[in-house]
């Protein structure tokens, strides 16, 4: 959760902007006044879920507190009570999901092959870069591979790798790294018309959990190889997305090599998109009828 614990004390000073110092100070004071603030849990990156109080309360660094405070800022106004409610729910969720212990488990091979999302390098702002074959996943029927709770468990572990990547980037650069760069290849999305009944509920579920408990983590969102059907689908998805997150999305019909290279060095861009990254980025395994996955009735998209 507090992925920058142990960073230089000046980390927050490099992030804070005018008008945030006092609200952050008050927000921190309220957090430290929580009934479980007497907890002896050390402010470390990961802790054993068993030693956390029922609320999941734990010491947090100022960078994490600032991230949650900013998450509910609207029209230049902070909403500390809403941010605190979000933060406390996130901590309780993390305890319930045993998030701090998830990376000790071996990643599920089936999940890793059905949803290809890989860390491939570091961008020009020292942020971790993730590429995903999102179109193939959404348009293939792979969304039927697991139940909702199983998807959440897999995704929760995925998100812990994000903290791991940001911690490593912060240590390597000596700078606070609070976001990552997400790039998604949308080729293959056309098949989604056959799986809307499973895809949309799954997207709602994962979006709800990510935006509630992991706010302000993604920096840029670059979608490319986007087919025309996306223009009809996006309003449906955007309806349940946080507007701040939705505003970060940029859409490209092909592979925007120039744009990608403006964000990252060639060493972070997979070779198939014109870069030199040799990080593992395999093709998606597509579930078939032999796996027990059947097509649904195509849902008209207008």
- Domains plus CATH for the chain? 11-103 (no CATH), 109-291 (3.40.525.10)
Over the stretch 79-123, which tens digit does the pLDDT of each residue have? 999 999 999 999 999 999 999 999 998 999 999 999 999 999 999
Q: What is the mean pLDDT of the chain?
A: 89
State residue 187's pLDDT score. Answer: 94
State residue 4's pLDDT score. Answer: 62
Secondary element (H or E) of residue 62 = helix 62-71
State residue 182's pLDDT score. Answer: 97
State residue 10's pLDDT score. Answer: 63
State residue 245's pLDDT score. Answer: 86
Over the stretch 112-137, which tens digit does the pLDDT of each residue have? 999 999 999 999 999 999 999 999 99
Q: How many CA atoms lie within 13 A of 64 on its CB side?
A: 26
- Categorise residue 77: left if φ over 0, alpha if ψ from -120 to 50, beta otherwise: beta
Task: Please answer whether residues 252 and 108 qualify as being in contact, where contact means their C-beta atoms are separated by less than 8 angstroms.
Answer: no
State residue 195's pLDDT score. Answer: 82
Query: What sign does the dihedral 17-30-101-202 (CA atoms) show?
Result: negative
State residue 104's pLDDT score. Answer: 92
State residue 94's pLDDT score. Answer: 93
DSSP assigned state of 103: G
Low-confidence residues of the chain: pLDDT under 50 = none
Secondary element (H or E) of residue 22 = helix 21-32
| Distance (Å, whole) CA 265 – CA 200 | 34
């Amino acid at each position: 959760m507090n992925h920058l614990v142990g960073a230089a004390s000046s980390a927050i000073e490099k992030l804070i902007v005018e008008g945030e110092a006092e609200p952050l100070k008050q927000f921190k004071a309220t957090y430290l006044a929580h009934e479980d603030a007497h907890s002896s849990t050390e402010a470390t990156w990961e802790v054993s879920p068993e030693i956390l109080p029922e609320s999941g309360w734990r010491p947090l660094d100022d960078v994490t507190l600032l991230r949650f405070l900013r998450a509910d800022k609207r029209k230049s106004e902070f909403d500390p009570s809403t941010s605190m409610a979000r933060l406390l729910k996130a901590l309780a969720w993390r305890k319930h999901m045993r998030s701090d212990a998830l990376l000790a488990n071996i990643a599920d091979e089936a999940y890793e092959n059905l949803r290809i999302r890989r860390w491939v390098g570091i961008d020009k702002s020292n942020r971790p870069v993730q590429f995903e074959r999102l179109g193939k996943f959404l348009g293939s029927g792979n969304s039927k591979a697991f139940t909702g709770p199983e998807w959440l468990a897999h995704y929760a572990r995925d998100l812990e790798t994000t903290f791991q990547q940001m911690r490593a980037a912060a240590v390597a650069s000596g700078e606070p790294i609070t976001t990552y760069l997400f790039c998604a290849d949308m080729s293959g999305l056309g098949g989604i018309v056959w799986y809307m009944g499973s895809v949309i509920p799954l997207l709602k579920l994962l979006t709800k959990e990510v935006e509630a408990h992991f706010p302000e983590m993604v920096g840029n969102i670059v979608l490319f190889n986007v087919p025309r059907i996306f223009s009809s689908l996006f309003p449906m998805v955007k309806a349940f997305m946080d507007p701040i997150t939705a505003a970060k999305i940029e859409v490209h019909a092909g592979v925007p090599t120039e744009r990608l290279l403006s964000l990252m060095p060639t060493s972070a861009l997979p070779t198939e998109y014109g870069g030199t990254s040799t990080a593992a980025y395999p093709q998606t395994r597509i579930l078939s009828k032999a796996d027990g996955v059947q097509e649904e009735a195509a849902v008209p998209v207008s």
